[in-house]
């Protein structure tokens, strides 16, 4: 079997006496959606923050594409193609959707447009930003102010911004939070389409979405992985039912 794209090895993090990440190990394979589920306060966001570089683990390693990135900061990880979306993205509400994405394209490209004239640079940025907006189904909202978009459209825009960094691995922290039924269904369709292009680590409370999208599910309880495997195996795991889902709440 090929090496995993992301390998989390014995990661631990505490806040004082509270052990929020306890000896967590997991492998994420290229081209897959790996969901991490668990009850409120289980440590999912803290874990993903250690994968994105926002938080330093106390111990353990994060290996991405064969490289130890444990000490690499967030910007360095983004440059390697490891991007985080949702819960933290700040849209610029008075800028258009297109401008929001163009800024992310510009950040990625750095000085690679320096040989172009200003007008051509702007055109190149806009073309790439438009392509990202098209990817998330927002072409017709390109010139609307970000602040005037619906909640679901803002989430689509956040995804377009993440895609503008050309990620190989996308960390998605509760992408469906706050969306209505229809918006959630649209976003799930979108992620399903993106599966061919980008590997995803998905934290999500919406179990329908998790079981529709994930190839692998890991269950986190009190900072520890209590089960990991295919959605059907995890669903049937008695330890998961008692520790997390509760017999009656098990997703079936
Ligand atoms: N900066 C911090 N300082 C102290 N405790 C923290 C800090 N951040 C998180 N915690 C605690 O760590 C635990 C895990 O929090 P975390 O947000 O990672 O859980 P979660 O699984 O993402 O929860 P939710 O599903 O509710 O978003 C919680 O008990 C939380 O109160």
Q: Tens digits of per-residue pLDDT, 224-242?
A: 999 999 999 998 888 787 7
Residue 69 has pLDDT above 80, yes or no: yes
Q: Which residues contact 117 (CB under 8 A, 6 or more apart)?
A: none
Residue 106 has pLDDT above 90, yes or no: no
User: How do strand 18-28 and strand 6-15 relate by DSSP bridges?
Assistant: antiparallel
φ and ψ at residue 231, rounded to 5 degrees: -55, -40
Domain 1-81+167-252: CATH class, spelled out: alpha beta
User: How many C-beta atoms surround the C-beta of residue 250 within 10 A?
Assistant: 16
From the CA of 43, give the closest atom in ligand 1. Answer: 18
Q: How far apart are CA 107 and CA 236, in angstroms?
A: 45
Q: How far apart are CA 124 and CA 139, in angstroms?
A: 16
Residue 13 has pLDDT above 90, yes or no: yes
pLDDT of residue 241: 79
Residue 133 has pLDDT above 50, yes or no: yes
Q: How does the average pLDDT of the chain come out, rounded?
A: 89
Q: Ligand 1 test: best mutation among 40, 42, 204, most atoms within 8 Å of CB?
A: 42
Q: How confident is the model at residue 112 (pLDDT cuts 50, 70, 90)?
A: low
* Distance from Cα 103 to the centre of ligand 1, integer Å: 31
Question: Ligand 1: residues within 6 Å at CB?
Answer: 15, 18, 20, 38, 40-46
Q: Evaluate whether 237 touches 244 at the Cβ level (below 8 Å).
A: no
Question: In the chain, where does the domain assigned CATH 3.40.50.300 lie?
Answer: 1-81+167-252
* Distance from Cα 117 to the centre of ligand 1, integer Å: 48
Report in angstroms the alpha-carbon separations of 69 from 64, 79, 119: 7, 12, 38
pLDDT of residue 116: 60
pLDDT of residue 246: 56
**ipTM attached to this prediction:** 0.95
φ and ψ at residue 16, rounded to 5 degrees: 60, -125
């Amino acid at each position: 079997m090929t090496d995993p794209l992301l390998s989390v090895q014995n990661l631990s993090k505490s806040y004082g006496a509270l052990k929020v990440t306890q000896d967590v190990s997991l492998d994420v394979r290229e081209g897959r959606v790996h969901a991490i589920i668990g009850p409120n306060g289980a440590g999912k966001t803290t874990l993903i923050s250690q994968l994105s570089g926002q938080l330093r683990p106390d111990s353990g390693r994060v290996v991405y594409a064969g490289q130890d990135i444990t000490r690499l900061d967030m910007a360095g990880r983004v440059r390697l193609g490891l991007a985080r979306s949702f819960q933290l993205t700040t849209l610029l509400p008075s800028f258009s959707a297109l401008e929001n994405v163009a800024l992310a394209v510009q950040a990625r490209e750095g000085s690679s447009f320096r040989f172009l004239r200003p007008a051509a640079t702007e055109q190149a940025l806009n073309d790439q930003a438009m392509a990202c907006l098209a990817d998330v189904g927002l072409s017709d909202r390109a010139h609307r102010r970000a602040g005037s978009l619906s909640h679901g459209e803002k989430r689509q825009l956040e995804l377009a911004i993440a895609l503008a960094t050309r990620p190989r691995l996308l960390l998605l922290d509760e992408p469906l939070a706050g969306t209505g039924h229809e918006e959630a269904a649209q976003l799930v369709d979108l992620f399903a389409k993106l599966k061919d292009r980008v590997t995803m680590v998905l934290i999500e409370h919406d179990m329908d979405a998790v079981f529709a999208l994930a190839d692998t599910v890991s269950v986190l309880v009190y900072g520890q992985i209590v089960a990991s495997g295919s959605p059907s195996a995890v669903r049937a795991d008695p330890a998961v039912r008692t520790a997390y889902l509760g017999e009656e709440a098990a997703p079936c």
